[in-house]
Amino acid sequence: MKASIAPATLEQAQDMGLRPEEFEQIKTILGRTPNFTEMCVYSVMWSEHCSYKNSIKWLKTLPKEGSHMLVKAGEENAGIVDIGDGLGCAFKIESHNHPSAIEPYQGAATGVGGINRDIFTMGARPIAQLNSLRFGDLSNPRTKWLLEGVVKGIGDYGNSFGVPIVGGEVFFDSSYQVNPLVNAMSVGILEADKIISATAAGPGNPVYIVGSATGKDGIQGASFASKDITEESADDLPSVQVGDPFQEKLLLEATLELAKTTAVVGMQDMGAAGITCSTSEMSAAGEVGMDIHLDRVPLRQQDMEPFEILLSESQERMLVVVHKGQEEEVKDIFKKWDLHAEHIGEVTEGDRIRYFMNGELVGDVPGSTLVLGGGAPVYEREYTEPAWYAEAQAFDPNSVPVPSLDECVDIAQKLICLPNIASKKWVWEQYDSMVGTINRTTNRPSDAGVVSVRGTEKALALTVDCNARYVEADPEIGTAIAVAEAARNISCTGAEPSAITNCLNFGNPYNPEVYWQFVGAIQGMGRACRHFNTPVTGGNVSFYNQTANPDGSAQAVFPTPTIGMVGVMQDRKHHTGLDFKEKGELIFLLGGSSGCINASEYLANVVGIHRSPAPHFDIDEESKLHACLREVAQKGLAAAAHDVADGGLFITLLEMAMPGGLGFDIVTDDEVRLDGFLFGEGQGRAVVSLREEDQDDFFDVCEKHGLQPTLLGHVTKGKVVVDDKRFGFCEELRAYYDNALEEILTED
């Protein structure tokens, strides 16, 4: 008997990530022992990466409803929000962590390719990309190798594909030493009444595979993403896909041309689990089946077994269900763009998905039993608060001596040279923020990337945010802060936060302490999203982000629930940047002075205390601040607005001064500790600069929103002064800031 149709064994099932009880469940579903090909199908579809079996219970508690939602979480490849003028914005974020840990260039590049396909498969043209990257200790040669490979992979793919990268973040901590995080976000625009669904329908309608040929790269990628990184993980290199951005560009144009016809019934990207996932999810969504002939699939290698064709995650491919009778129209479009469009099957009645190879039936499974919301398992894991959490809450800031003003000068210079604070110029200079834009993006530095919506006065404000140190300190508060910071960044530009997508990066869900972090993060996210009226449109869960140690223990990454947020700016002429414009502007702090040093970059990496509570956070005060910032921007009162975040107030002011080579002269608050005032990261604060003649109108807006602004000082020609103490000149401080990361990278 051929291996592909020989009965599978429990040992094989376990090798592919299935648990013994799951193997028994499959036997019950089929009424027999699955053959090897069928077992492979279940192993990828029931993997954590595809089924969300350990997370779906809690994901369902997140808010999905909203008055402007066009496509809600779980309905399609990505969520879509209504932005007015008959247009929708499709956006989503996903991880490509494990592939990037093994082969950083291709791992990151194909992550960018995959998330863009999720957007244009729905008929939306991608207009912007963002990313959130996490790495270990930069003094480690492997970290440098990973960083260089990931950044080059993102830059090469994105620049060649022709979509600008308009925002992102890079964070370093030893917890990410072996297992980096690579989260990619794509944003696209489409006509709201022309959304393409990932649903199969109409028995007898033909099924096409379009795009590139299928090879052996990426086989079992979904299963690979659902296990720990170990010393043997390099053996999983075939699980890493290989991308071709030029082929993807052709696929984009062909797909959008196809979307203008009436030929498409449904379409889905072939991402995780390849043909297996796209055939089963599209069938289950439409409550139909499919007959698929694997021998008709264009191959790069001719010796591929049925299970390899089914599980391959070769890039730049999609599955399309076509209205019968319009096949030639589809083939002509893809021929024009020099891409494959091969008829590989038909939609059938019932829910059976049958796979054939050279006329022989090699797999016969009920599609509804494979997918999330169908027969895929759903688990409720136990969770336990870790012992160190209570210890962290007991941290007493009074145990940290308050530095003198002279000492704060040295602290400031140390802070601006730390990898988490220093300029990421070395990273973003490798990205093209203008490619393909034709004046769509703005060059104005601001708290969020701002992209014009052509044909309207509108713009989209886009950001990705998560301070994982806060989430490690307190998962619920830390994740609520991530949502709040994203909304704060959007509001600083003058835009209204609309909705979020998320990428939930955690360790092993079978570890009760890790699962406690996950549950807390979901609860914090849900609370904040309801408060800010930013429903969750979808995203990605990435478990098993940890390093398996030889003694059997594991080091999990910081819990990292990355938040991608989209906001709508009704009139882009009100876009407020973060840069001071001229000497003499008044500098105000909104949100009050804070002496809180908890979980700050200063406390962790200057003082050296790594366990403390999350920083001060008041969600009601956040709402007042955000509303005030938006009205100040819309009335044109602010010359600049910038939220107080990583590094505290001093770093915020320096970031506002550097773009124009200006400086600042401020006075501190005697009632709070000096290091907390300058370097603390208490939340709910922003700095606004304005012309003196606008301050009365500014005060009126602040009073309307229940805020009392604090005058900090004024903008200078270039000198940086705190309490009459010179901290240096902007030019010299910027030299430290701009060059610190590159100097670390070039050290032997």
Q: Which CA distances in Å does 606 have to 264, 407, 414, 510?
A: 58, 12, 7, 34
Residue 56 tokens read as 């779906």
Helix axes 274-286, 36-45, angle to 10 degrees: 70
Selection from 286, 118, 292, 143 nearest residue 209 by Cα: 292
563-595 residues labelled b (16+ CB within 10 A) or e (exposed): bbbbbbbeebebbbbbbbbeeebbbbbbbbbbb
Q: Alpha-carbon distance 493 to 486, whole Å?
A: 11
| 343 part of the active site | no
- Cβ neighbours of 399 (radius 10 Å): 8
Residue 372 tokens read as 């999330």
Q: Alpha-carbon distance 42 to 366, whole Å?
A: 11
Q: Alpha-carbon distance 606 to 675, whole Å?
A: 11
Instruction: Give every strand in the sheet of 317-322, ordered side by side.
Output: 264-269, 317-322, 206-211, 340-348, 289-293, 352-357, 360-366
Helix axes 104-120, 245-259, angle to 10 degrees: 10
Instruction: Please pick, among 49, 575, 616, 642, the residue that the annotation labels catalytic.
Output: 49
Quick one: DSSP state of residue 592? -
Q: Longest C-alpha distance within the chain, in Å?
A: 86
- Residue 538 — left, alpha, or beta (φ > 0 → left; ψ -120 to 50 → alpha)? left
- Phi first, then psi: give them for residue 62, nearest 5 degrees: -75, 145
Instruction: Please pick, among 96, 98, 574, 575, the residue that the annotation labels catalytic.
Output: 96
Torsion angle, CA of 165/169/173/177, rounded to 10 degrees?
-10
Mention every residue, 6+ apart, whose C-beta is less than 8 A from residue 524: 475, 476, 477, 478, 479, 480, 481, 483
- Residue 309 — left, alpha, or beta (φ > 0 → left; ψ -120 to 50 → alpha)? alpha
Residue 737 tokens read as 């800031």
Q: Which residue has the tokens 């602290």?
A: 411
| CB contact at 8 A, 323 and 263 | yes
Q: Alpha-carbon distance 167 to 188, whole Å?
A: 15
- Phi first, then psi: give them for residue 50, nearest 5 degrees: -100, -35
| 642 part of the active site | no
Q: Sign of dihedral through CA atoms 681, 684, 690, 695?
A: negative
Going through 159-251 in order, the beta strands assigned E by DSSP cover: 165-172, 181-191, 206-211
Selection from 733, 647, 632 nearest residue 689 by Cα: 632
Instruction: Give the residue numbers annotated as catalytic, written as ranges.
Output: 49, 96
